[in-house]
Amino acid sequence: AKARHFKWEVDYMIGAPDCLEHVVMAINGQFPSPTIKARAGDTVVVHLTNKLHTEGVVIHWHGIRQLGTPWADGTASISQCAINPGETFVYRFKVDKAGTYFYHGHYGMQRSAGLYGLLIVDVEEGKKEPFQYDGEFNLLLSDWWHKGVHDQEVDLSSNPFRWIGEPESLLINGRGQYNCSLAAAHDSKASGCTFRGNEACAPNILHVKPNKTYRLRVASTTSLASLNLAIGNHKMLMVEADGNYLQPFSVNDFDIYSGETYSVLFRTDQRPTDNYWISVGVRGRQPRTPQGLAIVHYQTTTASKLPTLPPPQTPLWNDYARSKSFSNKIRALSGSPKPPINHHRRIFLLNTQNRINGYTKWAINNVSLSLPPTPYLGSIKHRLTNAFDQKSPPDTFLSTYDIMKPPPNPNSTYGSGVYMLKFNTTIDVILQNANALNPNVSEIHPWHLHGHDFWVLGYGEGMFSKRDEDKLNLKNPPLRNTVVIFPYGWTALRFVTDNPGVWAFHCHIEPHLHMGMGVVFAEGFILLGRYQTRLFLVA
Ligand SMILES: O=C1O[C@H]([C@@H](O)CO)C(O)=C1O
């Protein structure tokens, strides 16, 4: 194992992610930020200097569990103070498990502003993956707005509320095309793009040889969009999710929610004199955004030749049955760690859209997350009891709550959202979706847990009930760090509190987190009475 050192400077720069000039966040002048490559067992050391003039910054290493290093999780107000302009903070953490990961800003809405990059962890030297391939490509998916992120933040925090709307573009590896279409040949209304190939917004081209197997690592860091990805005429084999191996299964396309990663294998067994589209489109919300496109180029033909077939169509945005069917196919590779059979504590988290003094918010069990200036990790360890509201949020909600209707009383309150979890216990979380403020609206929310992987025990419709208990999958549930709740449905997950620290658990939709959609798990602190806690000492 090695230590891998990086010297990074975060700044804004002028870019053109979808061909239109726009301010974008960059590391060392690069957008998307540089890809980190490491091997399992390595230590990554990032010296992060904040070159922004008027705002703080932090970076979260999404999917890395930070075993024994909770201070390196990179969450402002939770694991650390935001790094001030001019300051350097050193992130030092172990990448203990091979897989496809990414990193991103976790302060305000800086991820939406473009602060993200990939983190690829290969298996240890001499070890093998449980599948074989001849080459690999990375696709980092994101969505892009023409309105700047500061304006978006103010819109969302205004009364009356202003929603950010759907993205203008989808980006693949930071590249999209707003004012032209690569697939204009298949769309009489669109005007074609003319690229020489070296433009910053020219599409990604994956150069492949015929009759080989390639691994495609796909990560979604979208601010809002749920996506579906397909490769024209090529089937894919799902083999990895969020840094954990899957029982392989074949698909024509797959859904990917913000915060998720997948590896798929595909075989270049199609007509080698043609090229093929990779298309990415919006699901789960009214699609108002053109597909994102990349090209698979068979090296037996010319790279500039556009595919003859049209880009694969994205499935109907509200065909949730299709999305659920895909999610339900995801199983852990046989031999993967299994969940404990019993739980010690079960926390029900009701997701509702609410109002506080006329401001539109999201709340969990009627508490809308509001982060304090002093980071929890320090304030809880040092018992700074006036650093935040010590009132525990509720473990459940009224069983009579009608999730099919808008909240009868939409008024909510702000809270610190801190759940104290005992060390080495098994925690179940039942995420319960509900109707938003408008009638007949319930949206998708991908929830992401820091500091852990969890087992996804199942999904269901309506209110979680005792009867659903028997349907939970304790046999081969996948381990993940992000999972979706479907409209009007529930999702059950389980994890073990074996990693002392303070961990965010939140909707990975950036504007939703900004509007309070999250909670905090403080784990491994000994409770010494009402206001006294101490960090549990572990080796
Ligand atoms: O948080 C959100 O707000 C809007 C809508 O509910 C109110 O405008 C929307 O679609 C969200 O996801």
Report how far ligand 1's centroid is from the alpha carbon of 392 (Å): 27
pLDDT for the residue 147:
98
Judged against a pLDDT cut of 90, whether residue 188 lies above it is answered with no
In angstroms, what is the span from residue 110 Cα to ligand 1's centroid?
Answer: 20
- Tell me: cis bond preceding 375? Omega within 30 of 0 counts: no
Atom of ligand 1 nearest to the CA of 438: 6
For residue 536, pLDDT beyond 80: no
62: helix, coil or strand?
strand
**What pLDDT score was predicted for residue 109?**
98
Ligand 1 atom at shortest distance from the alpha carbon of 285: 10
Residue identifier of the C-alpha nearest atom 8 of ligand 1 = 163
Q: Measured in angstroms, how far is the CA atom of residue 528 from the centroid of ligand 1?
A: 42
Query: Probe ligand 1: pick from 109, 226, 443, max atoms within 8 Å of CB?
Result: 443
Q: Which residue, by CA, sits nearest to atom 5 of ligand 1?
A: 163
Ligand 1, atom 3, lies closest to the CA of 163
Cα(128) to centroid(ligand 1), Å: 45
Looking at the CA of residue 512, tell me the nearest atom of ligand 1: 1
**Per-residue pLDDT at 325:** 98
pLDDT range class, residue 53, cuts 50, 70, 90? very high
pLDDT of residue 390: 84
Q: Please report which confidence band the pLDDT of residue 301 belongs to, taking 50, 70 and 90 as the band edges.
A: confident
Closest Cα to atom 9 of ligand 1: 163
* Ligand 1 proximal residues by C-beta, below 6 Å: 163, 436, 443, 512
Ligand 1, atom 7: closest residue by C-alpha: 163
pLDDT digits (tens, 9 = 90+) for 380-431: 999 898 999 888 899 999 999 999 999 999 999 999 999 999 999 999 999 9
pLDDT for 457 beyond 50: yes
Q: Residue 437 C-alpha to ligand 1 middle, in angstroms?
A: 9
First to last CA, the chain: 20
Angle (CA) 151 505 76, round 5°: 50
How far does residue 523's CA lie from ligand 1's centre (Å)? 32
pLDDT score at 538: 42
| 201 CA to centre of ligand 1 in angstroms | 30
Residue 507 vs residues 113, 427, 446: alpha-carbon distances, Å: 18, 19, 5
More confident call, 305 vs 271: 271
pTM given for the model: 0.97
**Ligand 1 centroid to 361 CA: how many Å?**
9
Residue 505 in this model has a pLDDT that exceeds 80? yes
Nearest protein Cα to ligand 1, atom 4? 163
Distance from the alpha carbon of residue 447 to the mean position of ligand 1, in angstroms: 17
Q: What's the CA-to-centroid distance between 436 and ligand 1, angstroms? A: 8
Of 166, 360, 513, 514, the one to substitute when testing ligand 1's pocket (max ligand atoms within 8 A of C-beta) is 360
Contacts of 184 by beta carbon, 8 Å cutoff, 6+ apart: 190, 191, 192, 193
Burial status of residue 378 (CB atoms within 10 A of its CB: 0-12, 13-18, 19 or more): middle
**Alpha-carbon distances, residue 188 vs 175, 202, 309, 413 (angstroms):** 23, 21, 15, 51
pLDDT at 529: 52
Secondary structure class of 323 (helix, strand, coil)? helix
Nearest CA owner, ligand 1 atom 1: 512
Q: What pLDDT band is residue 533 in, cutting at 50, 70 and 90?
A: low
Q: Note the pLDDT tens digit of each residue in 119-130.
A: 999 999 999 999
Question: Which residues share a beta bridge with 263?
Answer: 217, 240
* 510 CA → ligand 1 middle, Å: 12
Ligand 1 site-directed mutation target among 282, 353, 517, most atoms within 8 Å of CB: 353
Which residues, 6 or more positions from 303, have their beta carbon under 8 angstroms from its beta carbon? 197, 205, 207, 275, 295, 297
| Long-range contacts from 148-152, C-beta under 8 angstroms, 24+ separation | 148/22, 148/23, 148/113, 149/108, 149/109, 149/110, 149/112, 149/113, 152/109, 152/112, 152/511
* 520 and 527 Cβ atoms separated by less than 8 Å: no
Rounded CA-CA distance 120/44 in Å is: 12
